[in-house]
């Protein structure tokens, strides 16, 4: 979604801001802009499309400014065009502002400002905020921002500069993340650590309802009501290499192929194979409440929601605890019934998904224990949940979530085993699962070796515009995830569902040559899946199967089979998802799609 970078220091701001915007490109955007303080004037440059378009429009000589703000915009109010791109200025052109989030009462504020004689240059809610700060300005930028924000309803992460105060940058947040990189006599404010890590690993996380005033001499943080707040400087966990391609053509490929490592990192220190135990430090304080819970609700969106579905099977099967999975966007508004015995588990790679965060707040309001399964350290969901487990799978840059999904499932499997032991799971059964989980990273590596063959198969199918993905039990969520991966990056229409559901309607779609992917490893419902395969074959569908290595029966039924090692059923999703991720990746490359930045999509959906 939108990205913010701001710089104040002694270096040239322009290259730092442009480089920062490039680091945020992965989040998805449609236009970009930069405001630099040049000789007591604010110079704004905006462009539609890539950051390179913006860079091309900047003066060739370059700018000497050492204060500036920049933005990548993902249109919400107003079409993607130059005049709607940020930064926005106040009427006098003396104040510039960039904004992530949505100003909900912008119409009321706009009418008020228009009555004061202010004319607007764009269709955005953000310009309303810039004009409002200008309207409140009486020679003190910090106070003007504070006054303006008091009148604002909605969500924001903002960075603001004034031509009349060349020594300061003001930032504030409510509902949209902002991080401040702390350098030597310089500060970089950004919506995402990726824009900061090249310059410093020391950061301050601004919390909701906080403001920061950055000068070359220091950083001051307060609440919106001017109450001083002392913040700790923390170290960012990841390095620059982790957010670079490292020889891969796309981040998605890099992230698919690094899963043996990312999964090992997720499991590290948490599997005690010798003692047959799971150690989850993040949950220690709440272990009793969790073990006594009557009901678990997983809440998430997109791929994380699919991980939640796997969690539902894991918790009911392994931990024998009733569980359900809800779209956070529905949960937050339907006045859910929550009692003392309910524990909510929010799953999110970014930790910033607006609906998931709102679901956490709703559950907490009603007294539930809220846990987080989150990747981004220090993100809002990570901080607002009562406790949780970090994925530790490293930064995920590709818009299509891959390694975060496998790490989410691994974390949920560990939680289910640990919880199971406190309930009805025998030590022997737990040990079997822990042993098997410890072998998963290497087995993922084995499955990845089929990548070239998967590409050859996809080459023969890639022109087909409609695909089905079918699975049962633990592999029904994987069918959903396979379909989502394919549609979001290759724009092929795909549906994923329980294999039995096919007969209740979707079977009408199956015609000669339609690709139907079955996730069919050996397990309790294997024979039933074979029956479904026959039904598809007899209607001319082309069957591709993900099956257990050594299964010769299925090779007679399916046109192509990709294999996974034999693992206990609860852990199958960690392996069956891999060929589907590769299928989606190769399909997108073969169709010349923009793999890491699919159209209309953002990496992190911070508005509802």
Cα separation, 387 vs 107, whole angstroms: 39
Strands across the sheet containing 466-471: 493-498, 466-471, 515-519, 542-548, 560-564
User: Given the structure tokens 């005690």, which residue do they identify?
Assistant: 272
| Cβ closest to ligand M6R, residue 127 vs residue 362 | 362
**Judging by DSSP bridges, how do beta strands 342-348 and 67-73 pair with one another?**
unpaired
% helix, strand, coil for the chain, step of 5: 40, 25, 35
| Cβ closest to ligand M6R, residue 177 vs residue 420 | 177
| Cβ closest to ligand M6R, residue 411 vs residue 567 | 411
Q: How many CB atoms lie within 10 A of CB 364?
A: 16
- Verify whether residue 603 is a known catalytic residue: yes
| Cβ closest to ligand M6R, residue 75 vs residue 81 | 75
Name which of residues 474 to 533 contact ligand M6R (CB under 6 A).
488
Rule CB under 6 A: is residue 399 a binding residue for ligand M6R? yes
Question: Shortest distance, CB of residue 515 to ligand M6R, whole angstroms?
Answer: 20
Rule CB under 6 A: is residue 191 a binding residue for ligand M6R? no
| Dihedral angle of Cα 10, 13, 15, 17, to the nearest 10 degrees | 130
Rule CB under 6 A: is residue 302 a binding residue for ligand M6R? yes
Question: Shortest distance, CB of residue 458 to ligand M6R, whole angstroms?
Answer: 18
Q: Which residue in the shown chain puts its C-beta closest to ligand M6R?
A: 302
Of 84, 265, 356, 572, the residue at the interface with ligand M6R (CB under 6 A) is 356
What backbone torsions phi and psi does residue 193 show, to the nearest 5 degrees?
Answer: -60, -20
Cα separation, 193 vs 178, whole angstroms: 9
Question: Shortest distance, CB of residue 379 to ligand M6R, whole angstroms?
Answer: 9
Inter-residue contact 359 to 385 (CB < 8 Å):
no
Q: What is the CA radius of gyration of the chain?
A: 25
Task: Tell how far CA 232 is from the center of its chain.
Answer: 25
Give me the helices (H) in 158-286, please.
251-257, 259-267
From the list 135-143, 145-153, 394-402, 440-448, the region that binds ligand M6R by CB under 6 A is 394-402
Question: Shortest distance, CB of residue 283 to ligand M6R, whole angstroms?
Answer: 20
| Cβ closest to ligand M6R, residue 127 vs residue 488 | 488
Of 124, 259, 266, 348, the residue at the interface with ligand M6R (CB under 6 A) is 348
Beta-carbon contacts of 572 under 8 Å, excluding residues fewer than 6 positions away, are 474, 475, 478, 521, 523, 564
From the list 265-273, 301-309, 516-524, 548-556, the region that binds ligand M6R by CB under 6 A is 301-309
Rule CB under 6 A: is residue 353 a binding residue for ligand M6R? yes
Longest dimension (CA), the chain: 79
Would you call 331 helix, strand, or coil by DSSP? helix
From the list 227-235, 299-307, 382-390, 562-570, the region that binds ligand M6R by CB under 6 A is 299-307
Question: What burial class does residue 226 get, using C-beta atoms within 10 Å of its C-beta: 0-12 exposed, 13-18 middle, 19+ buried?
Answer: exposed
Of 400, 419, 425, 479, the residue at the interface with ligand M6R (CB under 6 A) is 400
Q: How many CB atoms lie within 10 A of CB 234?
A: 15
Of 45, 124, 401, 490, the residue at the interface with ligand M6R (CB under 6 A) is 401
Of 66, 262, 299, 604, the residue at the interface with ligand M6R (CB under 6 A) is 604
* CA angle at 109 for the pair 105 and 110, rounded to the nearest 5°: 115
- Verify whether residue 2 is a known catalytic residue: yes
Task: Give the binding-site size for ligand M6R (rule: CB under 6 A).
Answer: 16
| Cβ closest to ligand M6R, residue 296 vs residue 374 | 374
Of 66, 124, 303, 572, the residue at the interface with ligand M6R (CB under 6 A) is 303
**Which entry of 174, 403, 485, 603 is annotated as an active-site residue?**
603
Of 283, 595, 605, 607, the residue at the interface with ligand M6R (CB under 6 A) is 605
Question: Could you list the active site residues?
Answer: 2, 603
Which positions lie near ligand M6R, rule CB under 6 A? 301-304, 348-350, 353, 356, 399-401, 488, 601, 604-605
């Amino acid at each position: 979604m939108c990205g913010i970078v701001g710089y104040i220091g002694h270096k040239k701001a322009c290259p730092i801001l442009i480089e920062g915007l490039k680091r945020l490109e992965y989040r998805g955007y449609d236009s970009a802009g930069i405001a630099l303080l040049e000789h007591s004037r604010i110079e704004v440059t905006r462009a539609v499309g890539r950051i390179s378009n913006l860079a091309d429009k900047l003066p060739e000589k370059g700018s000497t400014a050492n204060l500036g703000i920049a933005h990548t915009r993902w249109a919400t109010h107003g079409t993607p065009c130059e005049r709607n791109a940020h930064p926005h200025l106040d009427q006098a052109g003396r104040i510039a502002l960039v904004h992530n989030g949505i100003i909900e009462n912008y119409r009321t504020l706009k009418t008020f400002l228009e009555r004061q004689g202010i004319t607007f240059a764009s269709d955005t809610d953000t310009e309303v905020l810039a004009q409002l700060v200008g309207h409140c300005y009486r020679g003190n930028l910090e106070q003007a921002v504070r006054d303006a924000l008091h009148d604002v309803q909605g969500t924001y992460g903002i960075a603001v500069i004034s031509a009349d105060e060349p020594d300061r940058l003001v930032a504030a947040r409510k509902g949209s993340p902002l991080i401040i990189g702390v350098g030597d006599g310089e500060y970089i404010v950004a919506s995402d650590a990726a824009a900061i890590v090249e310059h410093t690993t020391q950061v301050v996380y601004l919390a909701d309802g906080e403001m920061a005033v950055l000068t070359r001499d220091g950083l001051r943080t307060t609440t919106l009501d001017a109450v001083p707040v002392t913040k700790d400087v923390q170290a960012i966990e990841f390095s620059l290499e982790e957010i670079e391609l490292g020889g891969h053509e796309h981040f998605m490929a890099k992230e698919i192929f690094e899963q043996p490592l990312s999964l090992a990192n997720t499991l590290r220190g948490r599997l005690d194979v010798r003692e047959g135990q799971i150690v989850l430090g993040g949950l220690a304080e709440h272990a009793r409440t969790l073990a006594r819970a009557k009901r678990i609700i997983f809440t998430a969106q997109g791929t994380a929601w699919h991980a939640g579905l796997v969690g539902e099977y894991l918790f009911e099967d392994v931990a024998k605890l009733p569980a359900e999975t809800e779209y956070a966007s529905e949960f937050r508004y339907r006045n859910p019934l929550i009692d003392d015995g309910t524990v909510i588990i929010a799953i999110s790679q970014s930790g910033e998904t607006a609906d998931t965060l709102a679901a956490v707040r709703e559950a907490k309001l009603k007294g539930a224990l809220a846990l987080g399964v989150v990747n981004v350290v220090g993100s809002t969901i990570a901080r607002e949940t009562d406790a949780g487990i970090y994925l530790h799978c490293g930064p995920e840059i590709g818009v299509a979530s891959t390694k975060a999904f496998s790490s989410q499932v691994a974390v949920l499997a560990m939680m289910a085993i640990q919880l199971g032991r406190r309930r009805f799971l025998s030590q022997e059964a737990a040990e079997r699962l822990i042993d098997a989980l410890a072998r998963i990273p290497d087995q993922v590596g084995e499955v990845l070796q089929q990548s070239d063959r998967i590409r050859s198969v996809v080459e023969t199918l890639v022109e087909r515009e409609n695909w089905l993905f079918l699975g049962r039990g633990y592999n029904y969520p994987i069918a959903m995830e396979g379909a989502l991966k394919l549609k979001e990056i290759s724009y092929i229409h795909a549906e994923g569902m329980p294999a039995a559901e096919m007969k209740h309607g979707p079977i009408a779609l199956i015609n000669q040559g339609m690709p139907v992917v079955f996730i069919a490893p050996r397990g309790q419902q294997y024979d039933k899946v074979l029956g479904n395969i026959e039904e598809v074959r007899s209607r001319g569908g082309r069957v591709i199967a993900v099956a257990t290595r050594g299964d010769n029966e299925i090779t007679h039924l399916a046109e192509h089979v990709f294999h996974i090692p034999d693992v206990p059923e609860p852990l199958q999703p960690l392996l069956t998802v891999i060929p589907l991720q590769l299928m989606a990746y190769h399909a997108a490359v073969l169709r010349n799609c923009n793999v890491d930045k699919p159209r209309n999509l953002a990496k992190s959906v911070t508005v509802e």
